[in-house]
Copies of this chain bind each other. A is one copy, B any other.
């Protein structure tokens, strides 16, 4: 029974930064080799970053991914790492690059895994199950592969699979059982979602049973636009036993020794004894075909036994907080911003965003601005200053009244127009500071406010990134209380306990316009997250009149969330509608 030391490289990748991602593969492959590993696996689309969206339609991008893979194989060998088997995700395409404007979308493009060995790309596998729901649109981008790839390496048959392959029964994992493999290596770019780690382990266990093989599951970490990848890489035995598990949101190398069943006599071992690139043999079947590749050479002997261990799961609040911190940090750093600025109202939302920003970037990269008006209470200004002091961020005060008065003196405004004017003057000030000092503006509207439209368009919604975009108000409070238990409390107790107010007119409270967040949030969750209708929401125990009121607000607010003005499409590709690019994208056309 051969002992294979595997290393799962749970690392961060940046969309479009092919050179940087390749360098990370070389760096972590060195670490894996230093740890004595025979095989190291990197996440799905490690070389290109994930998700690349419509970048895949640019042939120059696909060609760059293909070139980088070949160069990486050679570079690893030049680094003295040729004996290490390196499994890495990238984007491939069938045949030479077609003229993209003529090609059907998705045609011939592949979400691929490659195994690199001795300077060569010795095996490739194309993802079979393509997710096309939720945040995924892979039917738009890729052709599904229809063959499993099995590499005989050190006397063990290793199958290559990619991400969604593990989320659906049938396909590659049943083919792996048929192929009699000892190990399935699954490379992933699986985005975080609250409690997703509770789903992953049973899933990997089911697939390990289906394949009758050990499964090595490696996932990406890090933020990309609105997604954050949480790692949670693991190794599961064919009997479902959890052999090793990495941390959540941690960049790390999970190294683990596996005693694996030896493969039967190699089907093509005799043909591959010379130094030439191994030949692929294909077994045809009604189901997926199986492509077999056999590598020569023995595994180096191991002088000790390494177990990856099983990292503890972190609490729900820690999970969300860490996701928000990592999402913000990577958005800021990958987009090249030096610093962020935000308005501090003294309220809970801006306090939590400030605490997230300080945890993500350090206080020296965060500026908080008190934008007080005549309606701002003394406690609001005190709470904002208190927060600044607790967190150590840069603090400045920019009263808005002189500018508001200039508008009021020159225009006839009343009611809502005056309320919104104050929020918009604050937006102009923050954007002016952004232009003057290069800060990224953070906006602080939580998911509950966004859902019901309780914000000012081009006012408090101004900003390049919103850490609370997907966080309901009740969870904002929960996070604040949790964070204050972790070391010195950054958030003033008063910001947590006082009733929320927009302070745009005298004595205004959120509760003047909105139901209590404790009853509002469950309705939003049912309607927005679970597509429940009115009857289902009422059947779930919500008050009918309240359901009607909230649904009306949510429907009307749909428009407000589309701040980027829509306009009639007339061309081959209109921005946004049928041209969908990542925001963070470092791919440059060679300039």
Q: Which residues of A contact B (CB under 8 A)?
A: 54, 57-61, 99-101, 104-106, 132-135, 137, 139-140, 191-194, 223, 225-228, 320, 323-324, 326-328, 331, 335, 398-399, 402-403, 405-407, 409-414, 416-417, 420-421, 424-425, 427-429, 431-433, 435-436, 443, 447, 450-451, 457-458, 461-472, 525, 528-536, 547-548, 551-552, 555, 558-559, 561-579, 581, 583, 585, 587-591
Contact = CB atoms under 8 A, between A and B. Distances in A.
Contacts of A409: 402
Given A100-B531, A403-B406, A465 B566 contact: yes
Contacts of A105: 132-134
Contacts of A225: 566
Given A417-B432, A436-B412, A468-B567, A59 B548 contact: no
B559 A464 contact: yes
Contacts of A106: 132-133
Given A228-B569, A447-B574, A530-B572, 9 more contacts: A59-B536, A134-B578, A192-B570, A320-B570, A420-B435, A470-B569, A547-B589, A551-B589, A558-B581
A567 B134 contact: no
Contacts of A472: 571
Which of A398, A468, A572 is most buried by chain B, counting CB atoms within 10 A of its CB?
A572
Given A398-B411, A406-B406, A578-B134, A558 B583 contact: yes
Nearest to A575: B561
Contacts of A133: 104-106, 140
Contact of A403 (B410, B534, B563): B410
B462 A571 contact: no
A52 to B, nearest CB: 12
A327 to B, nearest CB: 3
Contacts of A427: 424, 458
Contacts of A57: 531
A568 B327 contact: yes
Nearest to A400: B410
Nearest to A549: B591
Nearest to A102: B530
A532 B97 CA distance: 12
B417 A424 contact: no
Contact of A532 (B100, B137, B407): B100
Contacts of A591: 534, 548, 551-552
Contacts of A555: 585, 587-588
Contacts of A327: 567-568
A331 B536 CA distance: 31
B458 A565 contact: no
A563 B462 CA distance: 8
A473 to B, nearest CB: 13
Nearest to A561: B575
Given A106-B133, A133-B105, A533 B58 contact: yes
Contact of A561 (B532, B564, B587): B564
B407 A436 contact: no
